[in-house]
Amino acid sequence: DIVITVEADLQPGIQPTAVQPLFEAFAKSYTYPTGISYKAWGENEANADLISATVGWFFIALFLAFVILVYQFNSFTVPAIILYSVFTALLGSVVWLWVTGNPFSMWFGIGFSSLLGVILNTAVFLVDRIRHNIHLGSSVLKAIMEAGKTRFRPIVISSLATVLGLLPSVMQDPFYAWLGWTVIFGLIFSGVITLVALPCLYYSLFAESVE
């Protein structure tokens, strides 16, 4: 069989998802000679399976992390609070896609999946410090304030180090821009949520009790 492959390099700023449907519409409406058939293939189809696999493994990793946290903290509520920071980081990354007009892609899935461990570690360190202070006899509010002061600098420094380390690659190499910006915005958003919203959520749930 003779196979004719059509490839193209798009101009900067033009997404394959905007151009490929135009080619497919033309190819489907074209009248081919006898013995010649048409089959679409390209970046969209090639990435579809990879995106599905990435999303599947992400939720599997999230479930396994939840199981481990339940075993570690002997609680369902505390792991749920920790995983709250993961979904808020996802929201931050999605907002970045919406603002910049970028579609969901394989690089977005890989970038956010790579963030999962960092986000969980940050939230676990903060919550563990809060619980440690409570076990030492502090009130819930005092325990949260002390934990915030103790963990603020390490969280900010580690986040800034990651962001500054990714910026050169993001600015110079468009191929990794989606992945890098996903990590940067997800990390910034999750850092703010972990330091602000997560302690507030913990206080609202445990203000009347001491674990």
Give pLDDT tens digits for 83-133: 888 888 777 777 777 776 666 667 777 777 778 888 888 888 888 899 889
pLDDT exceeds cutoff 50 at 11 = yes
Q: Which residue has the higher pLDDT, 128 or 56?
A: 128
pLDDT exceeds cutoff 50 at 211 = no
Top mean-pLDDT range of 61-75, 105-119, 172-186? 61-75
Whole-number mean pLDDT of the chain? Answer: 80
- pTM of the predicted model over 0.75: no
CB 107 within 8 A of CB 182: yes
Closest CA to 201 of 116, 84, 88: 84
Listed in sequence order, the residues at least 6 apart from 70 whose beta carbon sits closer than 8 Å to its beta carbon are 76, 79
CA distance 171 to 74: 44
Report percent pLDDT > 70 for the chain.
87
For residue 114, the one-letter residue type is: S
Task: Give the pLDDT band of residue 37 (cuts 50, 70, 90).
Answer: confident
Task: Give the pLDDT band of residue 41 (cuts 50, 70, 90).
Answer: low
User: In a 3-state reduction of DSSP, which class is residue 129?
Assistant: helix
Mean pLDDT is lowest, of 12-16, 56-60, 75-79, for: 12-16
Report percent pLDDT > 90 for the chain.
2
Residue 67: per-residue pLDDT: 92
Task: Give the pLDDT band of residue 151 (cuts 50, 70, 90).
Answer: confident
CA distance 77 to 86: 15
Q: Which residue has the higher pLDDT, 65 or 39?
A: 65
Residue 103: per-residue pLDDT: 66
